[in-house]
Amino acid sequence: MQPNKTVENALATVGGILWTVQAFPQIYKSFRTKSTKGVSAHLMLIWALSALFFMVYTITRPLSVPSIIQVHFSFVVFTTSWVQCLHYTYGYSIKKALSYGGVWTLVCIGFEVGSIFGLWAAQKHGTEIPMSVYGYMSSVASVIGLLPQYYEIYRLREVLGLSYSFIFTDIVGALFYILSLFFRPTLDYSAMVIYVLTAGMMVIIIILALILNPRAAKRRRLEGDQTTIETTTSPETKKGAGMDHIAAASSEKIEVHLDGSDTDSEPGSGPSTPTGMEAHHDVPILGYSGNETPHEEPVMDHIAEAAKKV
């Protein structure tokens, strides 16, 4: 394509606007739900680092003004999302999380200013390699930053926590940036690499969401049904088990009565023994023999007293 500065700036402006607002849905979602579960804090920190390298690159190259403004704004947004992860995921207090974010921002500002003046000095001596290194470092950091997010997806077995508005806006913004590069006098391969990789890896996340999220929803539905079944049947099972226990105890008691092993003997069966076995009357009981009756001695005494009176 023929170089056209106006078209380049127009396309880059659209891409810059999209990438400027891309993380707002993510920040808003995390704030609204008070949770960053499924969002990798390492992703946000490494992408902020990637933006830092690209901030230096866009100024020293220089790229279009919208690209310069956008990448600085992206740094702020990714740092903000990282602070949210510190607070919601890792339990840092708001004050502590903001302190970490502030220190990180100050260090990055110092790094950017020093790098810009250093690269400008290298340019004056005809050295362009350090500038290209910054561009490729931004690309490498952008790719590495998504690896922790892929691990979160693998661990949770679904795409959770990420805002789909954030993902789609990121992809469309990258496409506009890619188109703007074709209207430059020379194609900037470092910028092309970072835009293509960012869009491609975001597309992979969408594909993973289409595959894994329906499976995760089905898995939760089955687990919920199983929990409902256990909750419903558990009281009946316990009641049935109690009735079986009572029936078994009643049956055992009836069997004891039938075989005479219970301590309550039938009338006329004679005294029972401690073992519950049938008594033997030829064994002396209470100190008298089997030929005597318990009332024999008192009757004879009564007859003798009556004869004396006569």
pLDDT winner (highest mean) among 16-30, 195-209, 280-294: 195-209
Interval 41-51 mean pLDDT: 91
Please report the pLDDT score of residue 220 as a whole number: 85
Q: Could you tell me which of 159, 144, 151, 199 has the C-alpha nearest to residue 175?
A: 199
- The yes-or-no verdict on residue 290 having pLDDT over 50 is no
Confidence of residue 278 (pLDDT cuts 50, 70, 90): very low
Q: What's the rounded Cα separation, in Å, for the pair 174 and 196? A: 7
Please report the pLDDT score of residue 135 as a whole number: 82
Higher pLDDT, 301 or 267: 301
- The yes-or-no verdict on residue 284 having pLDDT over 50 is no
Before 62, cis peptide (omega within 30)? yes
Q: Most distant CA pair in the chain: distance in Å?
A: 162
**3-class DSSP string for the chain:** CCCCHHHHHHHHHHHHHHHHHCCHHHHHHHHHHCCCCCCCHHHHHHHHHHHHHHHHHHHHCCCCHHHHHHHHHHHHHHHHHHHHHHHHCCCCCHHHHHHHHHHHHHHHHHHHHHHHHHHHHHHHCCCCHHHHHHHHHHHHHHHHHHHHHHHHHHHHCCCCCCCHHHHHHHHHHHHHHHHHHCCCCCCCHHHHHHHHHHHHHHHHHHHHHHHHHHHHHHHHHHHHHHHHHHHHHHHHHHHHHHHHHHHHHHHHHHHHHHCCCCCCCCCCCCCCCCCCCCCCCCCCECCECCCCCCCHHHHHHHHHHHHHHC
Q: Could you tell me which of 24, 36, 49 has the C-alpha nearest to residue 91?
A: 36
Please report the pLDDT score of residue 292 as a whole number: 46
Length of the chain: 310
Please report the pLDDT score of residue 283 as a whole number: 43
The upper half-sphere exposure of residue 293, i.e. CA atoms within 13 Å in the direction of its Cβ, equals 5
Higher pLDDT, 159 or 306: 159
Which sequence spans correspond to the domains of the chain?
A: 5-227
- The yes-or-no verdict on residue 89 having pLDDT over 60 is yes
CB within 8 Å of 25: residues ≥ 6 apart: 163, 165, 166, 169
- pLDDT tens readout for residues 10-20: 888 888 788 77
CB within 8 Å of 286: residues ≥ 6 apart: 294
- The yes-or-no verdict on residue 93 having pLDDT over 80 is yes
* Amino acid at the residue 277: M
- The yes-or-no verdict on residue 262 having pLDDT over 50 is no
- pLDDT tens readout for residues 112-137: 999 999 999 888 888 888 888 888 88
pLDDT winner (highest mean) among 26-35, 138-147, 216-225: 26-35
Directed axis angle between helix 5-21 and helix 164-181, to 10°?
170
Confidence of residue 240 (pLDDT cuts 50, 70, 90): low
- The yes-or-no verdict on residue 165 having pLDDT over 90 is no
Please report the pLDDT score of residue 92 as a whole number: 93
Higher pLDDT, 12 or 41: 41
Please give the mean pLDDT across all residues of the chain: 77
Confidence of residue 248 (pLDDT cuts 50, 70, 90): low
